[in-house]
């Protein structure tokens, strides 16, 4: 496969995300400007300029009309996808979950009150997901805990403590019945999103920064590498900066793809499952279209 | 000089002036390809012509995607032309997925069963450890990394350094012996022998230096052949250019011949240079 290298960022990529149809790919980095790209040809559609700090997480809505980004300048901002203009921003606080109604978002957002505030006591939240039917909220914590929250009441429903270290990333499977976590404790784990039951564990020998489940095959992809601060002391060959493909069920690694010069911070499957992207500490996003051999590859069992 | 005033510039300057204005970039679309030709200057003030060829593909997509395709670029891409901007989108080299198989693990039990099969044949001598003489592969010998047990090895093969090294060898217990460096172990005795052999070889070797760059192996052979039969001939050559690096090693069959060669060739004028010939010295990094 011939990957497209998207070089729109000056610093390490923090997160990449496809929209629902997969024609657009959003990327954020530690510089202040999230980018949006056409995933097919790698053409940059635009940049969202306005943040004053590293952008840590991004998301796009179901219809690809609104784009949201949360950054180190203590704000989250909502943008119009088509024009790249900022609709409004709101200030966050020290580790609290805000749930805000943005269905009819306009300039009054900064004055609006959140419909629910969940103060987090104890370990901080490092990743977050909507549960099935948007009735619950899943949070991954710095101590490896996963908590399921009830949106209506703001109460903890369930807690699972399967990871021993910070949870870097959580991603849903296509039907939202399972989610995969990527943790600093060198493993990625697959959970049932309803009862937080641990289903599978994918073991590696380095911190896992991101993990994604293929929408069409029983595959998961893990991206990782050692901590960014240790990168300069190791060569690319030793650092193992490749994306690693595991079988979903058998927990066994079956393939690797090289390319990045630093740890991979975020991986995402295209919603059609025929390509995947990875964003790394080296500031590049790489869009890979799978070769036919990937689809023909049969797992021996 | 009135004539000189009339000539405003020489023809050479005119060319320079012409080059000052860049031809406009052109875009040609023909049978499914878009060919864009750009002109620009590089750092050395040289004019560059850049031709980019794009394949135009038509895809049928849902309405919402088609609509999004018509969106205007914004932010830092606002000034980009339609199509990918080569500054931000780079097609990189081919990469391949490396498939990892667990075949090696699968082979292990098979290996065991093949031994069992051989054993069941009744021929006990099929599998025999070379180290301890028992019935298993040498690589699976429990004592392969430790001192060899009870005098199975002929005494003549033991090097002098080995027998002085430890007394535990006769007790027959693999454990309990202190650490023995690999080159002192029994199994290494043979290896040191072979290196000794290699060194003995070196005694018939001579080093020829100050050779000219154009020297080839054939030239060298012609040069040293008259002195006696040659075992090996090595001419140091540059990896990329293939030119001689100026020195060579020649291994003669007999030391006498080598001595003769040194005597005759040292100081001999060869291809405008004076040769420097001496015995080949053993590599300095060896510790013996």
Predicted-complex ipTM score: 0.75
Query: What's the average model confidence in pLDDT over B273-279?
Result: 88
Interface mutation target, options B62, B71, B75, B81, chain A, most CBs of A under 10 Å: B75
pLDDT of residue B168: 43
Considering the domain boundaries, does residue B61 fall inside one? no
Helix (H) or strand (E) holding B269: strand B269-270
| pLDDT band (50, 70, 90) for residue B172 | very low
Is residue B260 situated within a structural domain? yes
- Least confident residue range of A102-111, B130-139, B164-173, B277-286: B164-173
Q: How confident is the model at residue B35 (pLDDT cuts 50, 70, 90)?
A: confident
Beta bridge partners of A277: A268, A287
Q: Is the pLDDT at A89 greater than 90, yes or no?
A: no
Whether pLDDT at A274 is above 70:
yes
pLDDT of residue A236: 55
Q: Is the pLDDT of residue A282 over 50?
A: yes
Q: Is the pLDDT of residue B191 over 70?
A: no
The pLDDT score that the predictor gives to residue B192 is 45
Tokens 């009339």, residue? B6
Using a CB-CB distance cutoff of 8 angstroms, which residues of chain A are in contact with residue B58?
A: none
Burial label, B197 (beta-carbon count in 10 A; 0-12, 13-18, 19+): exposed
Predicted pLDDT at B6: 52
Over its C-alpha atoms, chain A yields an Rg (Å, rounded) of 18
Among B107-116, B129-138, B268-277, the minimum mean pLDDT is found in B107-116
Give the A window 61-80 contacts with B, CB below 8 Å: 63-64
For residue A246, the model assigns a pLDDT of 92
- From B172, B195, B218, the end of a domain falls on B195
Asked whether the beta carbons of A62 and A20 are under 8 A apart, the reply is yes
Q: A4-296 belongs to which CATH class?
A: mainly beta
Tell me which of A237 and A218 has the higher pLDDT. Answer: A218
A193 in helix, strand or coil? Answer: coil
Residue A119 region by backbone torsions, left for phi larger than 0, else alpha for psi between -120 and 50, else beta: beta
List chain A domain ranges.
4-296
pLDDT value at residue B115: 53
Per-residue pLDDT, B164: 41
What are the structure tokens assigned to A69, written together?
Answer: 């980004």
Q: How many domains does chain B have?
A: 3
Q: Is the pLDDT of residue A281 over 80?
A: yes
Question: Which of B2-11, B168-177, B208-217, B242-251 is least confident?
Answer: B168-177
pLDDT band with cut points at 50, 70 and 90 for residue B171: very low
C-beta neighbour count of A201 within 10 angstroms = 12
Which residue would you say has higher pLDDT here, B238 or A234?
A: B238
Q: Do A4 and B94 touch (CB under 8 A)?
A: no
CATH of the domain at B228: 3.30.70.330
The better pLDDT of the pair B40, A228 is held by B40
- Answer with the residue of higher pLDDT: B249 or A229: B249
Domain limit, last residue, from B33, B55, B77: B55
Note whether residue B79 is domain-resident.
no
Q: B54 or B7: whose pLDDT is higher?
A: B54
Any chain B CB within 8 A of the CB of A1? Answer: yes
Predicted pLDDT at B45:
77
Return the structure tokens found at A299: 């797992």
Nearest to A46 among B62, B75, B83 (CB): B75
DSSP 3-state of B153: coil
Most confident of B5-19, B160-174, B229-243: B229-243
B141 versus A287: which is more confidently predicted? Answer: A287
Pick the residue with more confidence: B161 or A16? A16
Q: What is the pLDDT of residue A147?
A: 92
What pLDDT does B163 receive? 41
Please indicate, yes or no, whether residues B180 and B216 belong to a single structural domain of this protein: no
- On average, the pLDDT of chain B sits at 71
Residue A151 scores a pLDDT above 70: yes
The 10s digit of each residue's pLDDT in A29-70 is: 999 999 999 998 888 999 999 999 999 999 999 888 999 999
Q: Which residues of A are less than 8 Å from B53 in CB distance?
A: none
Look at A45 and B83 and tell me if their CB atoms are within 8 Å.
Answer: no
Please report which confidence band the pLDDT of residue B193 belongs to, taking 50, 70 and 90 as the band edges: very low
Residue B155 lies in a domain: yes
Q: Is A264 on the interface with B (CB under 8 A)?
A: no
Inspect the interface and report whether the beta carbons of A256 and B61 lie closer than 8 Å. no
Task: Identify the weakest region by mean pLDDT among A164-168, A265-269, B151-155, B217-221.
Answer: B151-155
Query: Helix, strand, or coil here: B194?
Result: helix
Count CA atoms within 13 Å of residue A152 on its CB side.
2
pLDDT of residue B281: 78
| Residue B75, both tokens | 């932010």
pLDDT at A237: 57
Q: Which residues of B touch chain A, with CB atoms under 8 Å apart?
A: 59, 61-62, 64-65, 68-69, 71-78, 80, 83-85, 87-102
Which of A124-138, A274-288, B151-165 is modeled with the greatest confidence?
A274-288
Distance from the Cα of B104 to chain A's closest Cα (Å) equals: 13
| Interface contacts (A, B; CB < 8 Å) | 119
The pLDDT confidence band at residue B21, using thresholds 50, 70 and 90, is low
How far apart CA B279 and CA B265 sit, in angstroms, is 12
Question: Which parts of A98-199 fold into alpha helices (H)?
Answer: none
Q: Give percent of chain A with pLDDT exceeding 70.
A: 94
Nearest-by-CA chain A residue for B68: A82
DSSP codes joined into one string, A244-294: EEEETTT--EEEEE---SS-EEEEEE-TTSSEEEEEETTS-EEEEEPPHHH
pLDDT bracket for residue A19 (50, 70, 90): very high
Is residue B92 scored above 50 in pLDDT? yes
Q: What angle is formed at CA A236 by the lines to CA A231 and CA A240, rounded to 5 degrees?
A: 90
| pLDDT at res. B197 | 47
Supply the mean pLDDT for chain A: 87
Residues of A in Cβ contact (< 8 Å) with B66: none
What pLDDT does residue B103 have? Answer: 46
Q: Is the pLDDT of residue A217 over 60?
A: yes
Q: Of B74, B91, B97, which is closest to A2 when you measure between CB atoms?
A: B91
Q: Which residues of chain B does A203 touch, with a Cβ-Cβ cutoff of 8 Å?
A: none
- Indicate yes or no: CB of B92 within 8 angstroms of CB of A286: yes
Chain B: closest CA distance from residue A257 (Å): 5
Looking at the fold, whether B130 and B172 belong to one and the same domain comes out as yes
Find the domain containing B30 and state its range.
1-55
Q: Phi first, then psi: give them for residue B182, nearest 5 degrees.
A: -50, -40
In this prediction, residues A261-284 reach a mean pLDDT of: 91
B267-279 mean pLDDT: 86
Note whether A24 contacts B: Cβ–Cβ < 8 A: yes
Q: Given an 8 Å threshold on Cβ–Cβ distance, is A7 in contact with B90?
A: yes
């Amino acid at each position: 496969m011939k990957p497209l290298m998207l070089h729109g960022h000056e610093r390490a990529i923090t997160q990449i995300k496809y929209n629902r149809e997969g024609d657009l790919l959003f990327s954020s980095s530690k510089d202040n400007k999230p980018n949006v790209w056409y995933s097919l040809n790698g053409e940059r559609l635009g940049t969202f300029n306005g943040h004053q700090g590293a952008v840590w997480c991004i998301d796009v809505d179901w219809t690809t009309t609104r784009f949201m980004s949360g950054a180190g300048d203590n704000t989250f901002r909502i943008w119009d996808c088509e024009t790249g203009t900022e609709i409004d921003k709101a200030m966050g606080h020290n580790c609290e979950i805000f749930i805000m109604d943005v269905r009819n978002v306009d300039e009054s957002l900064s004055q609006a009150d959140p419909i629910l505030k969940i103060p987090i006591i104890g370990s901080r939240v490092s990743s977050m997901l909507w549960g099935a039917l948007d009735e619950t909220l899943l949070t991954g914590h710095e101590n490896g805990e996963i908590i399921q929250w009830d949106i209506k009441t703001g109460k903890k429903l369930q807690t699972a403590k399967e990871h021993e270290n910070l949870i870097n990333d959580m991603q849903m499977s296509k039907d939202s019945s399972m989610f995969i976590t990527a943790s600093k404790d060198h493993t990625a784990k697959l959970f049932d999103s309803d009862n937080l039951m641990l289903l599978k564990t994918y073991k590696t020998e380095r911190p896992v920064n991101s993990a994604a489940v293929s929408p069409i095959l029983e595959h998961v992809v893990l991206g990782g590498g050692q901590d960014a601060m240790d990168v300069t002391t190791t060569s690319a060959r030793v650092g193992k900066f490749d994306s690693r493909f595991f079988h979903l069920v058998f927990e066994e690694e079956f393939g690797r793809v090289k390319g990045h010069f630093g740890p991979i911070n975020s991986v995402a499957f295209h919603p059609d499952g025929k390509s995947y992207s990875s964003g790394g500490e080296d500031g590049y996003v790489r869009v890979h279209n799978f070769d036919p051999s990937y689809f023909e590859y049969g797992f021996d069992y | 000089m009135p004539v000189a005033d009339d000539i405003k510039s020489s023809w050479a300057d005119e060319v320079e002036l012409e080059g000052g204005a860049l031809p406009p970039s052109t875009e040609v679309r023909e049978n499914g390809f878009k060919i864009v030709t750009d002109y620009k200057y590089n750092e050395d003030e040289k004019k560059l012509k850049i031709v980019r060829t794009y394949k135009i593909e038509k895809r049928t997509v849902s309405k919402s995607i088609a609509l999004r395709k018509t969106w205007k670029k914004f932010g830092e891409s606002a000034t980009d032309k339609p199509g990918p901007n080569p500054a931000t989108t780079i097609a990189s080299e081919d990469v391949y997925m490396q498939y990892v198989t667990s075949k090696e693990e699968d082979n292990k039990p098979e290996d065991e069963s093949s031994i069992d099969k051989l054993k069941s044949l009744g021929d006990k001598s099929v599998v025999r450890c070379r180290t301890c003489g028992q019935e298993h592969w040498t690589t699976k010998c429990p004592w392969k990394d430790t001192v060899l047990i009870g005098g199975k090895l002929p005494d003549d093969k033991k090097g002098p350094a080995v027998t002085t090294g430890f007394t535990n060898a006769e007790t027959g217990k693999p454990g309990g012996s202190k650490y023995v460096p690999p080159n002192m172990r029994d199994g290494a005795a043979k290896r040191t022998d072979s290196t000794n052999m290699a060194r003995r070889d070196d005694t018939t070797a001579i080093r020829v230096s100050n050779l000219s760059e154009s020297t080839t192996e054939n030239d060298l052979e012609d040069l040293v052949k008259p002195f006696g039969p040659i075992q090996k001939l090595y001419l140091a050559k540059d990896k990329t250019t293939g030119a001689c690096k100026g020195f060579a090693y020649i291994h003669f069959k007999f030391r006498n011949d080598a001595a003769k060669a040194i005597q005759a060739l040292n100081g001999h004028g060869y291809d405008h240079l004076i040769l420097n010939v001496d015995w080949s010295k053993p590599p300095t990094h060896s510790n013996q």
